[in-house]
């Protein structure tokens, strides 16, 4: 197993063009299984040695360790994908992960900010220094276009079209989409971009990173998370707020304002409409809360 897994990861990187985050998740999932089996057996098994019963034992151990159901489902999907590869490479004759059933999916409503809370955090970064200008541009862009943080840090200067007020976004699976950019985000980006301290060794071209750290290099998702934590404290928002909260808020506010769900699906870059439908539940919950608060005979 320990020699077969790197082969599979190489296949994902070079033939499936999987992202670094996807490969990292597969690596953690598969080596987690290996460590479990080594602890159980005292040795490292070969791919063909495993049976569905072995993997059911692993699934049961994950459940006992209180892993979220969505996490367990993802780990099982990693195993199925690995064994399909192993069968093609004649490292295994069967796929022991095929008979395993995913636990029922956990439907947890995302944390969403109100319009007033969004305005509060967007106005938190100061406009009198380069870092504040950058942070304001980041927050405005995240909320204006409903981006994932990985999509935001992956933006290049050539992806921005201020005349048309759109940006080119590279989403999951390298799939590209065009997202509209509101006037507030355009204004924030125009203020920020001339203040950037670029690394002189980095090429100045359309492929140059839009959002930079203090060394003039592309910002990371972790840096955006740390930046947001600071502004959350200043704005006095719920500690559950994360960079993804702005994406959740973007979708929910569009639906609350009457946008149709398929348009929101396109804007978010969701492959499946079912993924977008969770925001209809959030909108319904918001409407119910407003009704119970405002209607004299709601209670």
Domains (ranges, CATH) in the chain?
3-89 (1.10.150.130), 115-294 (1.10.443.10)
Q: Is 270 a catalytic residue?
A: yes
Residue 169 DSSP SS3: strand
Measured between alpha carbons, how far is 33 from 67 in angstroms, rounded to an integer? Answer: 14
Q: What digits encode the pLDDT tens for the residues 55-97?
A: 999 999 998 888 888 889 999 999 999 999 999 999 999 999 9
Residue 88 annotated as catalytic: no
CA separation for the pair 15, 121 (Å, rounded): 42
Sheet holding 166-170, edge to edge: 160-161, 166-170, 176-180
Q: Is 248 one of the annotated active-site residues of the chain?
A: no
**Which is catalytic among the residues 172, 177, 191, 198?**
172
Instruction: Count Cβ atoms within 10 A of the Cβ of residue 249 and give its class: 0-12 exposed, 13-18 middle, 19 or more buried.
Output: buried
The one catalytic residue in 231, 247, 248, 253 is 247
Q: Is-contact 125 88, C-beta < 8 A?
A: no
| pTM of the predicted model as reported, rounded to 2 decimal places | 0.62
Q: What pLDDT does residue 124 have?
A: 95
pLDDT at 42: 85
148 is catalytic: yes
Residue from 134, 148, 218, 231 carrying the catalytic annotation: 148
Residue of 26, 83, 143, 279 marked catalytic: 279
Q: What pairing do the DSSP bridges indicate for beta strands 160-161 and 176-180?
A: unpaired
Alpha-helix residue ranges (DSSP H) falling in the chain: 4-14, 20-41, 52-64, 69-88, 115-122, 130-145, 149-153, 183-192, 221-235, 243-256, 261-268, 273-276, 278-294
73: closest CA among 63, 83, 82? 63
Answer yes or no: 279 catalytic. yes
Whether residue 172 lies in the annotated active site:
yes
**Parts of the chain with a pLDDT under 70:** 105-108, 200-204, 281-299
């Amino acid at each position: 197993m320990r020699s077969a897994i790197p082969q599979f990861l190489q296949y994902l990187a070079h033939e499936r063009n999987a992202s670094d985050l996807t490969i990292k998740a597969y690596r953690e999932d598969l080596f987690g299984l290996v460590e479990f089996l080594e602890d159980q057996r005292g040795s490292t098994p070969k791919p063909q040695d495993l049976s569905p019963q072995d993997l059911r034992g692993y699934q049961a151990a994950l459940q006992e360790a209180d892993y979220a159901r969505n996490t367990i489902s993802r780990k099982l999907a990693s195993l199925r994908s690995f064994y399909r590869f192993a069968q093609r490479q004649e490292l295994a004759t069967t796929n022991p992960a095929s008979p395993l059933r995913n636990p029922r999916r956990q439907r947890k409503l995302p944390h969403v900010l109100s319009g007033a809370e969004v305005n509060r955090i967007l106005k938190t970064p100061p406009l009198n220094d380069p870092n504040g200008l950058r942070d304001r541009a980041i927050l405005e862009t995240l909320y204006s276009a409903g981006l994932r943080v990985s999509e935001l840090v992956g933006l290049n200067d050539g992806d921005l079209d201020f005349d048309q007020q759109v940006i080119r976004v590279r989403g999951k699976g390298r799939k590209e989409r065009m997202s509209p950019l509101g006037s507030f985000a355009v204004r924030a980006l125009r203020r920020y971009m001339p203040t950037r301290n670029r690394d002189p060794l980095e090429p100045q071209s359309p492929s140059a990173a839009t959002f930079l750290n203090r060394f003039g290099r592309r910002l990371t998702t972790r840096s955006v998370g740390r930046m947001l934590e600071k502004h959350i404290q200043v704005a006095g928002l719920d500690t559950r707020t994360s960079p993804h909260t702005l994406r959740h808020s973007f979708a929910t506010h569009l639906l609350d304002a009457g946008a149709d769900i398929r348009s929101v699906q396109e804007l978010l870059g969701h492959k499946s409409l079912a993924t977008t439908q969770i925001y209809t539940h959030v909108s319904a919950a918001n409407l119910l809360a407003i009704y119970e608060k405002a209607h004299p005979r709601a209670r």
